[in-house]
Amino acid sequence: MKLTTKQLVICSLFASLTAILTQISIPLPVVPFTMQVFAVALCGLVLGKSLGFISQVIYILLGGIGLPVFAGFSGGLGIILGPTGGFILSFPIIAFVVGYFSEKFKSTLGIMFGMICSLLISYIIGTFQFCLVTNSDFIKGITICVIPFIVVDIIKLSLSAIVGKSILKRANLGKSIKIS
């Protein structure tokens, strides 16, 4: 897929949006509470599967080279390879899955189903890496990384669906932004 300059700029803007919303953070032991899930789902919903995916790859690359775009203005490979790095690595997948469902279904219910699927994928990848890095068993990983966040993450996804659909409607863009 060859990107136009306009598409690359839009993807970069949404990567920046993710970086900004990530800084809305409440530090908690091990996994901070952030608006990342909201931002990543919004990127997929508004941009669609391909550009949403690319926007999150850009976000990870920026953080990977050390720019302070991750929670708490952190950055670097240490964060990506650390206990919470699996959640970050799942962002392109979240955006892709949400984008796929937003392109395939017009209904909020269909989009929310895609968002829940993407959240489950994120939980699996994030918890797996957490357990691997901390030598924890899967039950401990779920107890620390998933259970405390389920309700809040579903609320963030719901807000993302509302905001994203509103953006698309107001911009008269249909299912996802068609940038050519």
Band the pLDDT of 178: cuts 50, 70, 90. low
Kind of pairing between the strands at 33-34 and 25-26:
antiparallel
The secondary structure of 139-177 as a DSSP string is HHHHHHHTGGGHHHHHHHHHHHHHHHHHHHHHTT-TTS-
- Assess whether pLDDT exceeds 80 at residue 168: yes
Mean predicted lDDT score pLDDT of the chain? 92
The per-residue pLDDT for 106 is 79
Tens digits of per-residue pLDDT, 85-143?
A: 999 999 999 999 999 999 998 788 999 999 999 999 999 999 999 999 999 999 999 99
Mean pLDDT of 143-170: 92
Percent of the chain with pLDDT over 70: 93
Query: Phi/psi class of residue 179: alpha, beta or left (left: φ > 0; alpha: ψ in -120 to 50)?
Result: beta
CB 44 within 8 A of CB 94: yes
CATH code, 5-170? 1.10.1760.20
- pLDDT higher at 141 or 176: 141
> How far apart (Å, rounded) are the C-alpha atoms in residues 59 and 2?
19
Residue (of 63, 43, 65) closest to 55 by Cα position: 43
The per-residue pLDDT for 78 is 97
Q: Which amino acid is at 161?
A: A
- Assess whether pLDDT exceeds 80 at residue 29: no
> What does the domain layout of the chain look like in residue ranges?
5-170
- Assess whether pLDDT exceeds 60 at residue 176: no
Band the pLDDT of 179: cuts 50, 70, 90. low
The per-residue pLDDT for 177 is 54
CB 156 within 8 A of CB 22: no
- pLDDT higher at 77 or 178: 77
Tens digits of per-residue pLDDT, 31-84?
A: 667 899 999 999 999 999 999 999 999 999 999 999 999 988 999 999 999 999
The secondary structure of 51-80 as a DSSP string is HHHHHHHHHHHHHHTT-S-BGGGB-SHHHH
